């Protein structure tokens, strides 16, 4: 028997999430007084401990790719990047799913999609979606989730975080957008903790957009850094055909750090934060490229990375480093045309120095973060 078409609403890709009913200040602080790790584990600590009712039948959210660390900001600095890079999650009320639970119906998209399991307890989107359901106290309906991967695994562009961010927002908005931005980050962190470590420098900017600084995890405190709207900033992202698992790249880090390296990296990270709020792309780039602790250990593990950084700088980039744990190389510049020239040189260097094929994207800063892109009325 045919049924009437369900009204569908589509939002432009720059729409902010429905739950953002107030603007953030230049250094807005999103705080959680309880221990972050325990906040999302029980319904009693949720924003809405009573059973929530869905506002929509189905909802689709998109979350952007991210660049974490930004050189000296290991595990505490990150930003969201545009260019359409990211993951998309659709959540739907599904009578076939046990009430209060979530099932993954489909995973598609990039070539890595076939590598991902559909067990929601071990899938990034599933873990974050379940965490959001617990926060909301959802018990009367079951949800099915479909994940479209726009990002490859192990790319250094926050692939797991984008899936988690999109899922957390989608679940929250399906029930009326009751979760606050910090709660969404905590839901995403539950996923990150299970698959790549308890750090929010990817999931934070993927949800909030722009630049973020993680000041503390116990208690959890994240600070948004406002890059001036009248300044241009372009990221040159060059991703080689090479997987750099986060676990392996973390194993390369030193157990002890010399005091002089700690002082150097601290000063560079401080300069980077100042450059962000001042809109000084040159200083931002030079500070980003000055990591003395992490990049020197990881770069040799990515074929051609040292030569790629050299090529980017010689082509006029203000700075270049490894995006997240790699293997993507990221450079910054203030002109898109110049960014395209730098990208070509970096691609050539990956081929010549690392014998790797690569793809390049020149993207602006994503100031929005995770957002709803489509809904179906209940």
**What is the DSSP secondary-structure string of 7-61?**
PEEE--TTPPPTT--S---TT-EEEESS-HHHHTS-GGGSS--SPP--SEEEEEE
Residue 143 pairs in a beta bridge with 93, 102
d(CA 289, CA 279): 17
CB 70 within 8 A of CB 272: yes
pLDDT (0 to 100) of residue 124 = 94
d(CA 128, CA 170): 10
**Domains of the chain, CATH where assigned:** 18-226+367-377 (3.30.230.10), 234-364 (3.30.70.890)
What phi, psi does 66 have (nearest 5°)?
Answer: -140, 160
Contacts of 341 (CB under 8 A, 6+ apart): 315, 316
Closest CA to 67 of 298, 246, 208, 235: 235
pLDDT (0 to 100) of residue 109 = 82
Contacts of 254 (CB under 8 A, 6+ apart): 293, 297
Give the global pTM.
0.86
CB 128 within 8 A of CB 170: no
pLDDT (0 to 100) of residue 240 = 96
- Which is the catalytic residue, given 60, 88, 246, 328? 246
192 is catalytic: yes
- Tell me whether residue 374 is exposed, middle or buried, using C-beta atoms within 10 angstroms of its C-beta: 0 to 12, 13 to 18, 19 or more: middle
pLDDT (0 to 100) of residue 141 = 97
In order along its 378 residues, the chain shows pLDDT tens digits of: 333 333 333 333 333 343 333 333 233 333 332 222 223 333 333 444 567 899 999 999 999 999 999 999 999 999 999 999 999 999 999 999 999 999 999 999 866 666 788 899 999 999 999 999 999 999 999 999 999 999 988 889 999 999 999 999 999 999 999 999 999 999 999 988 887 778 899 999 999 999 999 999 889 999 999 999 999 999 999 999 987 777 778 888 888 999 999 999 999 999 999 999 999 999 999 999 999 999 999 999 999 999 999 999 999 999 999 999 899 999 999 999 999 999 999 999 999 999 999 999 999 999 999 999 999 997
- Which is the catalytic residue, given 192, 321, 328, 361? 192
CB 273 within 8 A of CB 225: yes
What would you measure as the largest C-alpha separation in the chain, in angstroms?
Answer: 73
353 is catalytic: no
Tokens of 154: 């192990």
d(CA 209, CA 175): 22
Go through the chain and tell me how many residues it has.
Answer: 378
Tokens of 218: 């116990």
Report helix, strand or coil for 188: helix
pLDDT (0 to 100) of residue 113 = 62
């Amino acid at each position: 028997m045919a049924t009437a078409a369900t009204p569908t609403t589509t939002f432009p890709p720059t729409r902010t999430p429905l739950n953002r009913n107030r603007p953030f200040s230049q250094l807005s602080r999103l705080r959680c007084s309880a221990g972050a790790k325990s906040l999302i584990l029980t319904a009693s600590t949720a924003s809405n401990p009573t059973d929530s009712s869905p506002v929509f039948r189905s909802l689709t959210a998109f979350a952007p790719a991210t660049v974490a660390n930004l050189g000296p900001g290991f595990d505490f600095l990150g930003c969201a990047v545009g260019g359409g890079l990211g993951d998309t999650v659709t959540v739907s009320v599904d009578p076939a799913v046990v009430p209060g639970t979530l099932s993954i119906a489909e995973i598609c998209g990039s070539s890595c999609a076939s590598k991902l399991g559909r067990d929601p307890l071990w899938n990034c989107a599933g873990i974050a979606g379940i965490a959001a359901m617990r926060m909301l106290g959802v018990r009367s309906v079951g949800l099915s989730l479909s994940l479209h991967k726009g990002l490859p695994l192990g790319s250094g562009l926050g692939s797991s975080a984008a899936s988690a961010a999109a899922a957390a927002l989608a679940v929250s908005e399906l029930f009326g957008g009751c979760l606050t931005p910090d709660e969404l980050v905590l839901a995403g962190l539950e996923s990150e903790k299970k698959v790549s470590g308890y750090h929010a420098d990817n999931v934070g900017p993927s949800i909030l957009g722009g630049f973020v600084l993680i000041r503390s995890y116990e208690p959890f405190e994240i600070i948004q850094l406002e890059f001036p709207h009248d300044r241009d900033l372009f990221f040159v992202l060059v991703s080689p055909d090479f997987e750099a698992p986060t676990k392996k790249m973390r194993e390369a880090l030193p157990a002890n750090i010399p005091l002089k390296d700690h002082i150097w990296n601290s000063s560079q990270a401080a300069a980077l934060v100042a450059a962000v709020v001042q809109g000084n792309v040159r200083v931002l780039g030079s500070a980003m490229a000055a990591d003395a602790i992490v990049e020197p250990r990881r770069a040799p593990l990515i074929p051609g990375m040292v030569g790629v950084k050299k090529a980017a700088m010689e082509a006029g980039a203000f700075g270049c480093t490894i995006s997240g744990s790699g293997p993507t190389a990221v450079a910054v510049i203030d002109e898109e045309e110049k960014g395209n020239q730098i990208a070509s040189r970096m691609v050539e260097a990956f081929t010549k120095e690392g014998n790797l094929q690569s793809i390049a994207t020149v993207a602006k800063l994503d100031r929005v973060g995770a957002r709803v892109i489509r809904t179906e009325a209940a």
